[in-house]
């Protein structure tokens, strides 16, 4: 499943991370927000 702009925006609001960091985290976690948050916080 492709990462959408809405997903990136939602993750940015949750974490305060940059767009590319959010996109990469969502891609790596297969769009799992909980895993993406963990990836960003590493």
Strands in 1-42 per DSSP E: none
Bigger pLDDT: 1 vs 37: 37
pLDDT of residue 28: 97
Q: Is the pTM of this model over 0.85?
A: yes
Segment 30-41, tens digit of pLDDT: 999 999 999 999
Q: How far is CA 2 from CA 5, 19, 34, 41, in A?
A: 10, 15, 17, 22
Segment 11-30, tens digit of pLDDT: 999 999 999 999 999 999 99
């Amino acid at each position: 499943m492709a990462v959408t702009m809405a997903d990136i925006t939602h993750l940015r609001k949750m974490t305060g991370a940059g767009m590319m960091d959010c996109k990469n985290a969502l891609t790596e976690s297969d769009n799992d927000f909980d895993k993406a948050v963990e990836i960003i916080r590493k």
